[in-house]
């Protein structure tokens, strides 16, 4: 159908606006020529150019023309619609027009930035403008859908980022579900002794926040629990959480720990996860004294009752509150929330992947996280830095960039290792008086007070050798190397290779995405960056949002981060979530699919294909029915429908064919 057949009385009145975007577009595209060309297109009443269409005067130009020239269609040729489509639709709305009588042409990302030749760029811009003009004729007035949002937020991950986000939202009066996989909240920060650069005691600043979480009336804390299913969309997520059995009734246990004393195992003999195997625990245990909630749990892998069914069950007798329940089953909780904050954190690089450093081969090679536990006052050695054989090291080498800045493992800089290595160097020197060597490629200490801390370490006499270590070996060449670990490195500032014998090697392992980050990403329907960290919507202007509305990011799950940055990001994510749910409703794009009932043959092809379960089958009328509230406008059903009954607003056949013909007619 041709346009003049639909509009016998004069037809639509179109305005075309071409943006210079400073030199971004005008540096390549002859804007003047595009405007003159647009004036020749059918139904175009006015065509103009402007330096910055998105600026207030640019928008005012559109509003004035709509009023003055009675425009009922607008085309803007500028940047990407993901940047400014909303801006121009709003301008149209302000001028009293339906905002969907609008089409945007991307002549920046699609033309000027990617085309070498100015001539070709101008021609391509003209073709795309011609296409948009033909398309916009067939646009229809549409209404945005308003959907109420649930007033609650789910926070996944109970590290410092999750704790801070949860407390911020709870203090604002919103109900928060905080789900943590481990038996206690606290995350990695709970494992640290001191924090850089101020050397604040980590426990002193973290544990008050942990107990606040446990006591807050607006927080439902589920530890030892995992999210297993997420459905719905922004404002209306339905989430299922699996609560693993800890064989102790959380509501009854008061954390007196008498059951642990009473356990038939008189000595703790099983590797303790919280201390990375450096300490021992019993089958019934509490991860660490300040664990929150202060509730014990039983590990069925090591408990005699679970393994053999034969045990005196002395723990059961010792518990005065009858909190131990060997028959406890896992529970599935279902909740509805308006927004989700992911704060699932990181894991450290597995140092075994670099065999040259001998981790797992030489007992005196440690990872930095293990040393954090050694220097921790509540750690397995009570804060004394002792090797596995009980000796106190006299010389310690800290190797930086283990698994980071390396094409074979992770290309990125893990950001925190330089600073935590400095902190560990200080603590080791303070506790043992050892000579401490740092082997670094580049010292990266950007941050408030960070460079000053580096300077302090220099003055304390810690050795800094610029060079990446090639090898840690126990093969001695000189007598003073006997019985030691020898670090072979080029001192690049001196320009010579050195062999440095030490008693203890600390590997400053980098930060990596959680091993199951990809499954979590699929479950929450968000994206990952190349390294596997969750991808933010925009690295600068939307750093805590994701491409899925209503799901926000906080902390190291988005990329390596130290504590101040994690807390700042958690606050930002809480504010974004609050802004979303406090409004009470969300507006959804009207780009939904619909079924032309007369055409639907009831073949059900679309129903199985819909990724959002938005299509159901009406048995009475034998046709498919789309729930507009669930439809995300992906277009799968439209492409699959054999009878052309499934259609989509803003992507009507007529619109797309006219757009194609517009390009072809010009070319």
Give the single-character DSSP code of 552: E
Taking CB under 8 A as the criterion, the residue among 48, 244, 386, 468 binding another protein is: 468
Cross-strand pairs, 176: 153, 219
Task: Provide, rounded to whole angstroms, the least separation between the CB of residue 400 and another protein.
Answer: 10
Only segment of 82-90, 370-378, 402-410, 593-601 that touches another protein (CB under 8 A): 402-410
Taking CB under 8 A as the criterion, the residue among 63, 242, 353, 488 binding another protein is: 488
Q: Which is nearer to another protein, 59 or 404 (CB)?
A: 404
Does 582 interact with another protein (rule: CB under 8 A)? no
Task: Provide, rounded to whole angstroms, the least separation between the CB of residue 442 and another protein.
Answer: 7
d(CA 534, CA 3): 46
Only segment of 263-271, 403-411, 445-453, 537-545 that touches another protein (CB under 8 A): 403-411
Task: Provide, rounded to whole angstroms, the least separation between the CB of residue 405 and another protein.
Answer: 6
Q: Which is nearer to another protein, 325 or 406 (CB)?
A: 406
Q: What is the 3-state secondary structure (H, E, C) of 491-539?
A: ECCCCEEEEEEECEEEEEECEEECCCHHHHHHHHCCCECCCCCECCCEC
- Distance from the Cα of residue 271 to its chain's centroid: 32
Taking CB under 8 A as the criterion, the residue among 48, 386, 466, 604 binding another protein is: 466
d(CA 76, CA 462): 62
Q: Which is nearer to another protein, 356 or 597 (CB)?
A: 356
Beta carbons within 10 angstroms of residue 325's beta carbon: 15
Q: Which is nearer to another protein, 469 or 517 (CB)?
A: 469
Binding-residue pattern over the window 496 to 535 for another protein, x denoting contact by CB under 8 A: xx--------------------------------------
d(CA 533, CA 346): 9
Between residue 329 and residue 348, which ones bind another protein under the rule CB under 8 A?
none
Does 250 interact with another protein (rule: CB under 8 A)? no
Torsion over CA: 66, 69, 70, 75 (sign): negative
Only segment of 165-173, 219-227, 237-245, 463-471 that touches another protein (CB under 8 A): 463-471
Task: Provide, rounded to whole angstroms, the least separation between the CB of residue 660 and another protein.
Answer: 41
**CB 170, CB 176: distance < 8 Å:** yes
Tokens 């010792």 belong to residue: 318
Direct distance between the N- and C-terminal alpha carbons of the chain, in angstroms, rounded to an integer: 21
- Closest to 136 measured CA to CA, from 99, 87, 94: 99
**CB 560, CB 416: distance < 8 Å:** yes
Three-state SS at 391 = coil
Binding-residue pattern over the window 30 to 69 for another protein, x denoting contact by CB under 8 A: ----------------------------------------
Between residue 422 and residue 441, which ones bind another protein under the rule CB under 8 A?
441
Strands 44-50, 463-466: pairing is: unpaired
Q: Which residues contact 610 (CB under 8 A, 6 or more apart)?
A: 636, 637
Structure tokens at 659: 């757009």
Binding-residue pattern over the window 405 to 424 for another protein, x denoting contact by CB under 8 A: xxxx----------------
Binding-residue pattern over the window 345 to 364 for another protein, x denoting contact by CB under 8 A: -----------x--------
Q: Which is nearer to another protein, 369 or 489 (CB)?
A: 489
d(CA 588, CA 108): 27
Only segment of 180-188, 257-265, 468-476, 573-581 that touches another protein (CB under 8 A): 468-476
Taking CB under 8 A as the criterion, the residue among 171, 471, 481, 589 binding another protein is: 471
d(CA 51, CA 25): 10
Contact footprint for another protein (CB under 8 A): 356, 401, 405-408, 441-442, 466-471, 488-492, 495-497
């Amino acid at each position: 159908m041709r346009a003049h057949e639909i509009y016998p009385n004069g037809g639509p009145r179109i305005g075309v606006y071409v943006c210079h975007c400073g030199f971004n577009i005008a540096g390549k595209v002859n804007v003047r020529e595009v405007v003159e060309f647009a004036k020749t297109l059918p139904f175009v009443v006015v065509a103009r150019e402007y330096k910055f269409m998105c600026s207030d005067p640019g928008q005012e130009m559109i509003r004035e023309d709509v009023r003055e020239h009675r425009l009922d269609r607008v085309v803007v040729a500028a940047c990407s619609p993901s940047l400014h489509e909303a801006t121009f639709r709003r301008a149209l709305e302000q001028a009293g027009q339906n905002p969907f009588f609008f089409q945007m042409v991307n002549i920046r990302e699609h033309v000027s930035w990617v085309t070498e030749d100015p001539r070709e760029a101008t021609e391509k811009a003209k073709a795309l403008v011609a296409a948009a003009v033909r398309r916009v004729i067939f646009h229809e007035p549409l209404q945005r859908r308003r959907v109420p949002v649930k007033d609650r937020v789910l926070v996944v991950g109970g590290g410092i980022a999750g704790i801070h986000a949860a407390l911020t939202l709870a203090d604002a009066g919103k109900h928060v579900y905080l789900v943590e996989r481990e038996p206690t909240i606290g995350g990695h920060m709970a494992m640290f002794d001191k924090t850089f650069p101020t050397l604040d005691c980590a426990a002193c600043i973290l544990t008050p926040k942990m107990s606040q979480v446990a006591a807050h009336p607006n927080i439902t804390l589920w530890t030892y629990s995992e999210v297993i299913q997420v459905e719905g969309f922004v404002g209306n997520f339905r989430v299922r959480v699996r609560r693993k059995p800890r064989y102790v009734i959380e509501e009854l246990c008061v954390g007196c720990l008498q059951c642990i004393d009473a356990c038939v195992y008189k000595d703790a003999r099983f590797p303790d996860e919280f201390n990375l195997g450096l300490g021992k625990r019993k089958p019934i245990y509490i991860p660490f004294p300040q664990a929150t909630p202060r509730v014990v749990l039983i590990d069925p892998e090591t408990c005699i009752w679970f393994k053999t069914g034969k045990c005196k069950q002395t723990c059961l007798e010792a518990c005065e509150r009858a909190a131990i329940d060997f028959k406890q089953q896992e529970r599935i909780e279902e909740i509805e929330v308006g927004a989700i904050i992911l704060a699932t954190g990181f894991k450290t690089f597995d140092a075994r992947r670099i065999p040259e450093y001998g981790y797992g081969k030489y007992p005196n090679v440690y990872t930095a996280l293990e040393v954090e536990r050694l220097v921790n006052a509540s750690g397995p050695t009570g804060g004394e830095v002792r090797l596995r054989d009980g000796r106190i090291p006299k010389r310690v080498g800290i190797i930086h960039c283990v698994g980071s800045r390396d094409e074979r493992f992770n290309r990125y800089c893990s950001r925190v290792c330089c600073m935590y290595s400095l902190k560990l160097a200080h603590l080791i020197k303070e506790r043992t008086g050892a000579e401490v060597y740092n082997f670094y490629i580049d010292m990266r200490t950007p941050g408030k007070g960070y460079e000053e801390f580096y300077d302090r370490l220099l003055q304390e006499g810690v050795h800094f050798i610029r060079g990446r270590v090639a090898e840690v070996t126990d093969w001695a060449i000189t007598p003073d190397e006997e019985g030691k670990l020898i670090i072979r490195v080029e001192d690049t500032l001196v320009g010579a290779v050195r062999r440095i014998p030490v008693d203890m090697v600390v590997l400053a392992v980098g930060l990596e995405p959680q091993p199951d980050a990809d499954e979590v990403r699929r479950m929450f329907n968000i994206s990952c960056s190349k390294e596997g960290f969750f991808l933010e919507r925009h690295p600068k202007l939307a750093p805590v949002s994701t491409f899925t509305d209503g799901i926000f990011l906080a902390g190291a799950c988005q990329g390596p981060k130290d504590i101040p940055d994690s807390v700042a990001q958690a606050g930002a994510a809480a504010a974004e979530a609050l802004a979303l749910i406090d409004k009470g409703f969300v507006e959804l794009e009207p780009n939904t699919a619909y079924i032309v009932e007369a055409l639907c043959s009831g073949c059900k092809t679309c129903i199985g294909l819909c990724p959002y379960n938005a299509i159901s089958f009406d048995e009475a009328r034998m046709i498919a029915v789309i729930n507009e509230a669930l439809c995300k406008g992906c277009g799968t059903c439209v492409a699959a429908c054999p009878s052309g009954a499934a259609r989509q607003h803003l992507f009507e056949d007529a619109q797309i064919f006219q757009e194609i013909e517009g390009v072809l007619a010009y070319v």
